[in-house]
Chain A
Amino acid sequence: MFLLLRKLNRLRRQADLERGPGGSLAVRHVDAGSCNGCESELNSVANTFYDLQRFGINIVASPRHADVLLITGPVTRRMREPLLRAYEAMPEPRLVAALGDCALGCNLLGLPSEHLDGVESVLHVDVRIEGCPPSPAAIASALEAALAAGLGR
C-alpha cells in the first residue's frame, strides 16, 4: 500500500502538471449510444497522466449537482427520453457538451430509425469535443478551455 502510494506520488511529480484557471465545473456524463470508446477515455482523464480534478473539474453522480451535461453517442431512440430528463433535472445555468464524433453527428452508423443525428438534434451544444474517440488530452483541454472562458462561473 505505502509502496503504491509512493509510486503514485512519484508519477505525479514526474508528470509535473500545471494548475488551471480558477473556478470549477461539475460534470454529469450521459451515454446516449456510444461504442464505449468515449466512456473509456473519459475515465482515463482521471488517471495520473491527466488528473482532470486538479482543474476543479469533477464527474458528479447526479444531474442535480452538475453544471455540464457531457453526452456521448448519436442519441439513440431509447436514450432520448432519459437524456432529456437528466437535462431537465439540472439547475441553471447549465451547459451541454458533446463528446466524440457520434455525439457531433459525424460518420454515424446504424439504422436511421434507431438513432438521431447527434446531440444537436435535441439540445443546444455549448462545448464540442471532436475525435473517435477524443483522446484524454483533448477532453481535458476542451473542458479546461470551457472553464477558462468563464463558462463555469
Chain B
Amino acid sequence: MRLESERVPPGRWRRTVVERQASGARFGSLHATAGEVRLLLVLPGGGCTLLITGGAEVESIVADVPAAGWAEREAHDLYGIEFLGHDPMRPLVLHSAEEWRVPVTGGGVHDVAVGPIHAGVIESGHFRFHAVGERILLLDLRLFYKHRGLEKAARGVALDQGIVYAQRACGTCAVANSVAYAQAAETVLGLQCGIATAHARTLLLEMERLYNHLGDLSAICAGIGFAAGGMALAALKERAQRLNQQLFGHRFLFDTVEVGGTSIEISSADARRAGAEVTAIVADAGIVWRELSFNGSVQDRLCGVGVLSHHQALRTGAVGPSARASGVDLDARSSAPDLLYPGFRSARLVDATGDVAARAEMRKIELEATGQLLDPLLQDGIRPERGRRQLEEQRMGFGRVESPRGETVCVVEGKSGGIERFHLRTASYANWPALIDVVPGNLLPEFPLINKSFELCYACVDR
C-alpha cells in the first residue's frame, strides 16, 4: 500500500512525533538505515505515513512512545544510531556486551537465569528473573540468539524474489509476513492485483489463524498440565494442518503467497469439502472448550494470572488477541482494502480482564469468527491470476496484516527493481515488551503459562 514519507529536521523529531500522536496516529514501527531513522505511523483510517530524520544522533522518543523502546535499541545496535535521552541504552541485538543486564539489588533478591536452551521443544532465548522466593520482581529478556540478519541479507535482491526473506522469518506466521511483504513490494512495483489474489490471501491468512489458535489453546492447556485438553486441541490443530496440506500442498502454507498475483488453483468441489472440514474442526473445538469451561481446576489456574491492564496494553503498544483481551479494540482486518473482510468487526470480550483466561477466551471467540470468515471464502474455487502494472512505481510501500498474534507491518524501499531496505515488525516483536510488563508480581511457576497465553515467536523477532 502507498506510503507517504515526510522528512523531519533532527531538531523537530520528538516534537513532530508527539504532535502526530496527539492527532490520533499510532506507533507502527521504527527502523534505521545507514545514517537515517524511519518511523512508521499508523493513521486512524488504517493508512500509514513514514517520518524520516537524518543524522547519527537523533532525539529519543521512548519517553513519549514507550512502544518504540526495543526498536531504538535495535537501531542503535545494528546501525549505530545514538538516541539522545534513551538512557540507559542497553544492548538488544548485540550479545558481546554485558550491559544488557539489570543489576540485582535488594535483600533476599536472587537471579534466576533460564535458557537460551529450554527444557521443552521451545525456541532459543534467554530469560532472567529477579525473584524474592517465588515472587517475580523483574523479567529481562535477551533474545536474538536466532538472529540471521535476514533484513540486511535481502538488500539488492529482486523485489519479487525477496518475499522468501519475509516468509522464512517465521514458520508459524509465514502467510501474514509474506502478505505484508507482498503488499509493500507490489506498491513499489506499481502492480495491482485483482479479486482472486485478495480471495486467496484472505483464505490463507484465516487458515493460518485457524491452526495457530488451536495450537495456542493446546499450549495453554499444556501450560497448566491439563493433558486431556492439550491433546484434544493438538489433534484438532493436526487436522487443520492436514487440510492446509490438502488444499495448498504445505502444512505451514509456505510458498503460497507471491508478489503480483496468485498461482493458487482450487476447484469449487475441493473448496466446499474443505469448508465442511473447517466447520467440523471449529465445532469440535467448541466441545473441548465446553469441557475446559466446566473444569474447576482448569479455570482456577487461568483466572487472575498474568493481568495485562488496558493502560499497560496501550503503553507498551501490544497488538492482536493479547491486546484485545485487555479491551484494546485494534485489529488490522478492520481496514484491509486489499483483502476480503467486508464489514469486519473485531471480536470483543464482554469482560476484557486481560488475564490468561481472557487471552484464552479471546482466541476461542476468534476461532469461531475465523470459521465464519472461512465459510464464504470456501464456497467458490480460486483460479490463478496475474496482477497488472497499472500504477506508478513508488520508492517505498508498506503492508499491514493481522497475523494470528496481531498486527504485522512491513516497509519495503526499492531501487531499480531491487530491495534497498526491508523492515518487518511482527506482532511478536510488539508484544514481548508487554509480556515483560505483565510478569512482575506473578509467581515463577506461572511464567510458562503466562508466556504461552501470549504465545510469541522468537524467530520473527530475531530475524
Contact = CB atoms under 8 A, between A and B. Distances in A.
B215 interface: yes
Interface of A: 1, 3-5, 7-8, 11, 29-44, 46-49, 59, 61-62, 73-74, 76, 78-79, 82, 86, 109-111, 113-115, 132-133, 135-136
A46 B145 contact: no
Given A11-B235, A34-B123, A47-B238, 7 more contacts: A36-B172, A39-B122, A40-B171, A44-B238, A48-B235, A110-B150, A113-B149
Contact of A79 (B146, B170, B252): B146
Contacts of B174: 35, 37
Contacts of B120: 59, 61
B235 A1 contact: no
A40 B228 contact: no
B459 A8 contact: no
A136 B169 CA distance: 21
5 contacts: A34-B123, A36-B172, A78-B116, A109-B148, A109-B168
A35 B170 contact: yes
Given A62-B119, A115-B148, A109 B153 contact: yes
A36 B273 CA distance: 29
Contacts, number: 136
A31 B147 CA distance: 12
A40 B145 contact: no
Interface string B216-256: 00000000000011011011011001000000000110100
B170 A48 contact: no
A130 B148 CA distance: 21
A48 to B, nearest CB: 5
Contacts of A110: 148-150, 153
A37 B252 contact: yes
Contacts of A47: 231, 234-235, 237-238
A32 B238 contact: no
A41 B120 CA distance: 13
A29 to B, nearest CB: 5
Interface string B281-305: 0000001100100010000000000
A16 to B, nearest CB: 15
A39 B252 CA distance: 12
Contact of B231 (A48, A61, A74): A48
A4 B291 contact: yes
B86 interface: no
B117 A30 contact: yes
Interface string B155-180: 00000000011001111101000000
Given A1-B291, A36-B172, A86-B117, A31 B232 contact: no
B117 to A, nearest CB: 6
Contacts of A7: 232
A138 B281 CA distance: 24
Contacts of B241: 44
A40 B172 contact: yes
A147 to B, nearest CB: 19
B429 interface: no
B291 A3 contact: yes
Given A8-B228, A133-B252, A78 B147 contact: yes
Interface string B107-126: 00000000011011111100
A36 B457 contact: yes
Contacts of A32: 124
Contact of A1 (B148, B150, B228): B228
Nearest to A63: B117
B454 interface: no
B27 interface: no
A88 to B, nearest CB: 13
B458 interface: yes
A5 B459 CA distance: 34
A111 B148 CA distance: 6
A117 B117 CA distance: 20
A114 B295 CA distance: 47
A89 to B, nearest CB: 10
Contacts of A115: 148-149
B7 interface: no
Contacts of A8: 228, 231-232, 235
B362 to A, nearest CB: 21
Interface string B166-196: 0011111010000000000000000000000
Given A111-B149, A111-B153, A35 B168 contact: yes
Nearest to A32: B124
Contact of B121 (A59, A78, A79, A133): A59
B124 A114 contact: no
Given A40-B252, A44-B234, A86-B117, A111 B145 contact: no
Contacts of B168: 35, 109
